[in-house]
Amino acid sequence: MSMVQASAVNESEIRQWLEEVPDPEIPVVSLVDLGVIREIKRDGDTWLVNVAPTYSGCPATRIIHDDVRAKLYEKGLRPSDFQVVSVLSPPWSTDWISKSGRQKLADYGIAPPQPSGKPKACPQCGSSDLELVSQFGSTPCKASWRCRSCLEPFDYFKCI
Amino acid sequence: MSDDTLNKALFEFLCRMGDNTLVLGHRVSEWCGHAPVLEEDIALANMSLDLIGQTQLWLGLAGELEGAGRSADDLAYLRDAFDFRNLLLVELPNGDFGKTLMRQFLFDGFQSLILTELTRSSNERVKEIALKVKKEVTYHLERSSDLVVRLGDGNEESHRRMQQALNELWPYVGEMFIDEPEDKLLSEAAIAPLPSSLKARWETLMRPYFAQAKLNVPDEGYAHKGGKHGTHSEHLGFILAEMQFLQRAYPGSTW
């Protein structure tokens, strides 16, 4: 693997690399789409990559950090060239999920978060006749809903 | 007041916050695989995941402030019952599903109020955690209040069980609002509110739900206490025996 100089890359390049890293639990969206990649900045000879946790207990947080490190290494940075930092403040919000991220979620069958706190339409058939099954779904960030028109259950990305 | 005294008070307070979420998180996780329906099983497991995650934040900061090199894990797994600072309420056995939910509801109400205050803390680190955690707890309260109302105002059997749960848990509510000497120091430093200052707000927040759930709030004022300074019920020892077994039997083991 060829090495690159930490000083030869810039912030937007690193951000582009991280767009290739899928979320470990919802692999259709990248970490950048999800909005967890915050500030990327130089501190002396080191690149600091700030990552916001989604839910404080989300088991994917550790994997996300590892995946970021692995990607930067794969792109040729040495482990001493970068540091992944967990930042709590400001707290991650579903508002930070990108527009393309929302579309990718919907295409995948997960209703994207809505300011109203409930899904707008069934990701399968588009109907708005929906009911809540449970406030928690398959991961801490999702709730379970069901469509009364096509009867399909689906995940809804909770709005926080 | 010296910085050291204030630091010690803050350590105590952070242990109270972290031990509440740790012990409740452990209790709620006992439902995993046993809840009445699959959706509730998943919900309870996710709730405990949130609570354990919050514990990492509170106890992590406690260990950092203490400066003795103890991590959140060290504090969780290597302290004895008398070092735990959680409310007696959260260590009580789960009982039935209704009692677990009622306990969650009573706690969520308190937690949402104290976190609101902590989002204005003069301590940046405490404020940062509170802002993060508040979002999760708001969601928990939405869920627990909704279910308490549905079961309290459900059928005869669900109503009976919810009323019984409230009667049994009520004497454990008062402890939430007792001011300890550390609370006074922290309140003067605008780091954390006096628990007693939350009592009236808690009543205002909770009473409408009890009314909607058609539940009678007991008028008994007696409060079991001691958890906040390490005098616990017999139940905590059993929780720790299970939770800490691995680190006690195989110190320092990792995987």
Q: Does pLDDT of A1 surpass 60?
A: no
Q: Is residue B221 part of a domain?
A: no
Q: Is residue B220 part of a domain?
A: no
Q: Which domain, by its residues, includes B245?
A: 3-215+227-249
Q: Does pLDDT of A75 surpass 90?
A: yes
Residue contact B46–A136, C-beta within 8 A: yes
Q: What is the pLDDT, as a whole number, of residue A8?
A: 85
| Chain B residues with CB-CB distance to A55 below 8 A | 49-50, 53, 136
| Chain A residues with CB-CB distance to B136 below 8 A | 55-56, 160
Q: What are B197-208's pLDDT values in tens digits?
A: 999 999 999 999
A132 φ, ψ (degrees, to nearest 5): -80, 130
Give alpha helix (H) positions in chain B. 3-29, 38-66, 72-78, 88-91, 97-118, 124-152, 156-169, 181-188, 199-212, 234-249
Q: What is the pLDDT, as a whole number, of residue A3?
A: 79
Peptide bond into B193 cis (omega under 30): no
Q: Is residue B222 part of a domain?
A: no
Residue contact B43–A59, C-beta within 8 A: no
CA dihedral B224, B229, B230, B233 (to 10 degrees): 0
Residue ranges and CATH numbers for the domains of chain A are 6-92 (3.30.300.130), 97-157 (no CATH)
Q: What is the pLDDT, as a whole number, of residue A2?
A: 66
Count Cα neighbours of A105 within 13 Å in the Cβ-side half-sphere.
Answer: 29
Distance from CA of B122 to the nearest CA of A (A): 15
Q: What is the pLDDT, as a whole number, of residue A6?
A: 83
Helix (H/G/I), strand (E/B), else coil: A147: strand
Domain count, chain B: 1
Q: Is residue B43 part of a domain?
A: yes
Q: What is the pLDDT, as a whole number, of residue A137?
A: 87
Residue contact B53–A89, C-beta within 8 A: no
Q: What is the pLDDT, as a whole number, of residue B221?
A: 83
Strand ranges across the sheet with A110-111? A110-111, A153-157, A142-147, A130-134
Q: Identify the CATH number of the domain in which residue B12 sits.
A: 1.20.1260.10
A86 φ, ψ (degrees, to nearest 5): -85, 125
Rounded CA-CA distance A25/A109 in Å is 14
Q: Is residue B45 part of a domain?
A: yes
Distance from CA of B42 to the nearest CA of A (A): 7
Strand ranges across the sheet with A82-86? A37-43, A46-51, A82-86
DSSP string, A72-114: HHHTT--GGGEEEEE--SSPP-GGGS-HHHHHHHHHHTEEPP-
Q: Is residue B255 part of a domain?
A: no
Residue contact B51–A57, C-beta within 8 A: yes
Q: Which residue has the tokens 């692995």?
A: A70
Q: What are A101-158's pLDDT values in tens digits?
A: 999 999 999 999 998 889 999 999 999 999 999 988 888 889 999 999 999 999 999 9
Q: Is residue B39 part of a domain?
A: yes
Q: Which residues contact B152 (CB under 8 A, 6 or more apart)?
A: B158, B159, B162, B163, B210, B212, B213, B214, B215
Rounded CA-CA distance B90/B77 in Å is 17
pLDDT < 70 regions, chain B:
1
Q: What is the mean pLDDT of chain A?
A: 93
